[in-house]
A and B are shown apart, each in its own frame.
Chain A
């Protein structure tokens, strides 16, 4: 492709099929705890 560079794998849909195991950290989103936002967390499922 000459006009577009894709930075990452588009894998969110696949993650829905196998997701929800609950092994990952909770992710408080309040401003007073630095454990904010979901997206910067890692998936901790055993692969």
Chain B
């Protein structure tokens, strides 16, 4: 399968099953509309008529170029990956999200965790549960060496003692078990101070900082408990964190959420760069479609043009450089095809633990009773749910196997699909459309870089 698109002035062709990306001149780009596999060595003579705007010699040469790509497996490569998906089985657990605080000190209007409590009581994970989760992960990880733990919430800095004790406990036993823990934390920054920043720099391989961009965008939805804006409290703290992490060559992301209220979100991203942040992300809100700020189908054309604007801004060397998370793609050294079949590993090699130790497939399933998989205190883990997710892949999800983006999104977010469509195996169309647009921009930026080298 191929996908043709024009972006940044290039005619780009992605061959989905080989992952080859080609830039074509107009003649080749137009000729592809006339071709499907299998290709014959001899060009059909009717092409000369159908492509009469191009000189005959160019048409013949172009066909030979395309035929060569076809022969070397980088054009119309066949889809023979289903055999791998048919054998998918449960994997060891290697990654967990620790919801250390089901509480938050902000009251963001769009919070999927319902301002921190996930629809239940406000509570903090005791350190004993954090340590039990570490033991659980080590036990469930079998022969996996690299283990990831993300401190999440609500707001994880509200459970700081648990964060510190859990990290120290994991560090004290990782070597004896032959494991390497990689910690990350996602914070709104309100409680950040020098002591916490020092610990985060020392222990966290990535630190995700939530800020929505321009003051008016951020303060319109990320409000303090008394209804005030959070921008002025957070920005100086984040600038300090980022300065320290850049000096220490540690990863971070400043992540924004965009909603219907700021469909000009490229300006928010650019504003974050103006604040001195280089690693940036802006993600569409996940919320009930009835909310006034929810993104709907009608918003998609505006969102696409905004992604175009951001893509063009980033391609222009006169503008300050930054990385935009969703426009990053590694065309050569990305994950293997096996990994790409089922993506995130939710409920299979990735789980979320809530403050009482209950296990869910991921942080977005937390609190949905039917999806409870077990508890870290007694080490239970529902094998049926694990198997269900092990077999939830691009060949079992509706519509994915025929989509050009399948090896880039791996079928999308299972939780989104469940929340919006009521079924993990029915992708959420709006999310798919935005994902495809972001991928086009990401590939175009790589093309632009390569063509200028």
Contact = CB atoms under 8 A, between A and B. Distances in A.
Interface in B338-379: 338-340, 343-346, 349-350, 362-364
A34 B349 contact: no
A20 B255 CA distance: 30
A11 to B, nearest CB: 7
Interface in B310-358: 325-326, 328-340, 343-346, 349-350
B262 interface: no
Interface stretch (B170-178, B193-201, B223-231, B277-285): B277-285
B337 A15 contact: yes
A30 to B, nearest CB: 4
B331 A26 contact: no
A22 B28 contact: no
B340 to A, nearest CB: 6
A11 B73 CA distance: 10
Contacts of A16: 81, 84, 336-338
Given A20-B338, A22-B94, A37-B408, A10 B19 contact: yes
B286 A30 contact: yes
Which of A20, A23, A25, A43 has the most C-beta atoms of chain B within 10 angstroms of its own C-beta?
A25
Nearest to A1: B65
B92 A22 contact: yes
B451 A5 contact: yes
What is the predominant secondary structure among interface residues of chain B facing chain A?
mixed
A23 B145 contact: yes
A38 B362 contact: no
B144 to A, nearest CB: 6
B340 A7 contact: no
B65 A4 contact: yes
Interface residues of B, number: 93
Contacts of B253: 34
A40 B446 CA distance: 12
A25 B407 CA distance: 16
A8 B446 CA distance: 10
A42 B146 CA distance: 14
A6 B69 contact: yes
B385 interface: no
Given A3-B25, A38-B409, A26 B345 contact: yes
Contact of B350 (A26, A38, A44, A45): A26
B208 A33 contact: yes
Given A5-B22, A30-B286, A36 B326 contact: yes
Contact of A10 (B58, B74, B80, B447): B74
Contacts of A32: 112, 257, 283, 286, 363-364
B24 to A, nearest CB: 5
Given A12-B18, A25-B148, A37-B408, A42 B333 contact: yes
A4 B20 CA distance: 12
Contacts of B326: 36-37
A14 to B, nearest CB: 9
A10 B336 contact: no
Contacts of B61: 2-3
A17 B144 CA distance: 20
A6 B144 CA distance: 36
B77 A10 contact: yes
Contact of B62 (A3, A7, A11, A24): A3
Interface in B242-284: 253, 255, 257, 281, 283-284
B343 A15 contact: no
Contacts of B80: 13
25 contacts: A2-B62, A3-B27, A4-B22, A5-B24, A5-B451, A6-B74, A10-B18, A11-B18, A11-B19, A13-B80, A20-B338, A22-B144, A23-B145, A25-B182, A26-B350, A27-B343, A29-B412, A30-B286, A31-B416, A33-B208, A34-B186, A36-B281, A39-B408, A42-B333, A42-B334
Interface of B: 15, 17-25, 27-28, 58, 61-62, 65-66, 68-69, 72-74, 77, 80-81, 84, 91-92, 94-95, 97, 112, 144-146, 148, 150, 152, 182, 184, 186, 206, 208, 253, 255, 257, 281, 283-286, 325-326, 328-340, 343-346, 349-350, 362-364, 407-410, 412-416, 431, 435, 438-439, 442, 446-447, 450-451
